[in-house]
């Protein structure tokens, strides 16, 4: 394994409010190697998108990084001045968001937006930037890129707009791409094309990709490893096949059990009772304990850390040899 391109160490993100400070991301650590796609999955409110926003320096105030470190190629980036982070974000970190309309300026042609991004970060003249922009449009699967170059975002379909956003994210050949729900608003056939495109970027450019999604089908098809988040923490992380087929944490077991299987004849899907806790009401001990079918006393008072669980690592007291005490 090559050395990590991105390292996140004990990251915490909080939101100061008049009623106290809400901890949204709590002691999250992971890394991503060049050419690797790490999926981050969990229910809405788990902290997936916030983790991505913290990495690319786009936390919405009053959200702030309260602790930990973020390193890109060994260089710490979580405390960089705003202007320096802005340059880094365009040149070395690419971002793909769920809604392409929020990433594209409706008043400018897509070609102008691409050229402007390219010339901001790469030493190219106008013609060279135009050639690169057209090449990027072609690489991302947009037909007749020379003609589409001079069109506006509203003249593109949703899937085509998302391809333009990916082209923008790749414009300066970034080493890290943070993709936040990049396929959610797209139909299945377009999803498959976007997934193939992300995998191609990793393969050909050696980029590291953090793919935030709640879709396990996308995770299974795209990622090398997956991190499962719950209430601001990683509860399990490991190779995709192991997490899907041999989950160790009860929450991961519930997530996998809620996915319909084509080779099984089941009348009802499994479900996880209850809901994700609010930030101001995260329970003591393991945050999942009120919903866990295998909860026992220690779960309610002590918070488990990630430990080895076969090929994966999971944060569960069942893995510490205490299952025998389950009531």
In whole angstroms, give the CA distance from residue 209 to residue 300: 35
CA atoms of 275 and 288, how far apart (whole Å): 10
Query: Nearest-CA neighbor of 241 among 256, 259, 231?
Result: 256
Closest-CA residue to 63 (of 72, 51, 75):
51
* H-type alpha helices, 280-327: none
**pLDDT value at position 141?**
84
Length of the chain: 327
Q: What is the DSSP letter of 278?
A: P
Q: Flag whether pLDDT at 320 surpasses 60.
A: yes
Q: Give the per-residue pLDDT at 242.
A: 96
For tokens 């769920």, name the residue: 98
Contact residues for 27 (Cβ-Cβ < 8 A; gap 6+): 10, 11, 12, 67, 68, 233
273: its two tokens = 């009772």
User: What's residue 155's pLDDT?
Assistant: 96
pLDDT exceeds 70 at position 1: no
Strand partners, 234: 229
> Are the CB atoms for 121 and 91 separated by under 8 Å?
yes
Strands 208-212 and 225-230, sheet pairing = unpaired
**Residue 321: predicted pLDDT:** 64
Mean pLDDT within 172-182: 92
CA distances from 146 to 149, 194, 244 (A): 5, 21, 43
Compute how many other C-beta atoms are within 10 angstroms of the C-beta atom of residue 99: 15
User: CA 198 to CA 276: how far, in whole Å?
Assistant: 30
Percent of the chain at pLDDT above 70? 95
- For residue 202, the model assigns a pLDDT of 82
The pLDDT-based confidence of 325 (bands split at 50, 70, 90) is very low
Cα angle, residue 301 at apex, residues 299 and 304 outer, rounded to 5°: 55
CA angle 173, 139, 54 (to 5 degrees): 40
For 66-123, the pLDDT digits (tens) are 999 999 999 999 999 999 998 899 899 999 988 777 889 999 999 999 999 999 999 9
Check: CB of residue 56 under 8 Å from CB of residue 93: yes
Dist CA 126 CA 132 (whole Å): 10
CB 71 within 8 A of CB 77: yes
Mean pLDDT (the chain, rounded): 90
pTM: 0.91
Q: How far is CA 150 from the centre of its chain?
A: 31
Please name every residue paired with 246 in a beta bridge, in sequence order, or none if there are none: none
Is it the case that residue 201 has pLDDT exceeding 90?
Answer: no
Cβ-in-10-Å burial (0-12, 13-18, 19+) of 188 comes to: exposed
238 has which bridge partners? 226
pLDDT bin (cut points 50, 70, 90) of residue 262 is low
Provide the token pair at 177.
């791409």
SS3 25: strand
Higher per-residue confidence, 185 vs 15: 15
Closest to 93 (Cα-Cα) out of 134, 53, 141: 53
pLDDT in tens, 48-72: 999 999 999 999 999 999 999 999 9
Mean predicted confidence (pLDDT) in 229-254: 96
pLDDT of residue 258: 76
- Predicted confidence at residue 284, as pLDDT, reads 95
Residue range 132-143, pLDDT digits in tens: 999 999 988 899
- 301 pLDDT above the threshold of 90: yes
Residue 46 predicted with pLDDT over 80? yes
Crossing angle of helices 188-205 and 158-170, in 10° steps, is: 10
pLDDT number for residue 51 = 97
* pLDDT at residue 326 is higher than 50: no
């Amino acid at each position: 394994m090559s050395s990590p391109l991105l390292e996140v160490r004990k990251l915490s993100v909080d939101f100061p409010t008049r009623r106290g400070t809400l901890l949204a991301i709590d002691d999250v650590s992971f890394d991503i190697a060049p050419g690797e796609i790490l999926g981050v999955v969990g229910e809405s409110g788990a902290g997936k998108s916030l983790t991505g926003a913290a990495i690319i320096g786009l936390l919405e105030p009053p959200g702030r990084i309260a602790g930990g470190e973020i390193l890109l190629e060994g260089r710490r980036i979580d405390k960089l001045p705003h202007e320096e982070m802005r340059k880094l974000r365009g040149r070395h970190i690419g971002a793909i968001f769920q809604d392409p309309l929020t990433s594209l300026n409706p008043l400018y042609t897509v070609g102008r937006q691409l050229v402007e991004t390219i010339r901001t970060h790469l030493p190219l003249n106008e013609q060279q930037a135009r050639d690169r922009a057209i090449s990027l449009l072609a690489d991302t699967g947009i037909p007749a890129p020379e003609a589409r170059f001079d069109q506006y975002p509203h003249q593109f379909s949703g899937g085509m707009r998302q391809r333009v956003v990916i082209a923008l994210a790749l414009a300066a050949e970034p080493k890290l791409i943070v993709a936040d729900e990049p396929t959610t608003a797209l139909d299945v056939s377009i999803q498959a094309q976007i997934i193939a495109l992300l995998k191609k970027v990793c393969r050909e450019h050696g980029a590291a990709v953090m793919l935030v999604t709640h879709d396990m089908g996308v995770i299974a098809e795209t990622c090398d490893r997956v991190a499962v988040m719950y209430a601001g923490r990683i509860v399990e992380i490991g190779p995709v096949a192991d997490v899907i087929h041999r989950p160790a944490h009860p929450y991961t077991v519930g997530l996998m059990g809620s996915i319909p299987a084509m080779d099984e004849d089941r009348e009802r899907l499994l479900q996880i009772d209850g809901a994700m806790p609010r930030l101001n009401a995260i329970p003591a001990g393991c945050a999942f304990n009120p919903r866990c079918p295998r909860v026992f006393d220690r779960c309610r008072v002590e918070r488990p850390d990630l430990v080895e669980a076969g090929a994966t690592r999971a944060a569960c007291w069942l893995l510490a040899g205490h299952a025998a005490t389950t009531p």
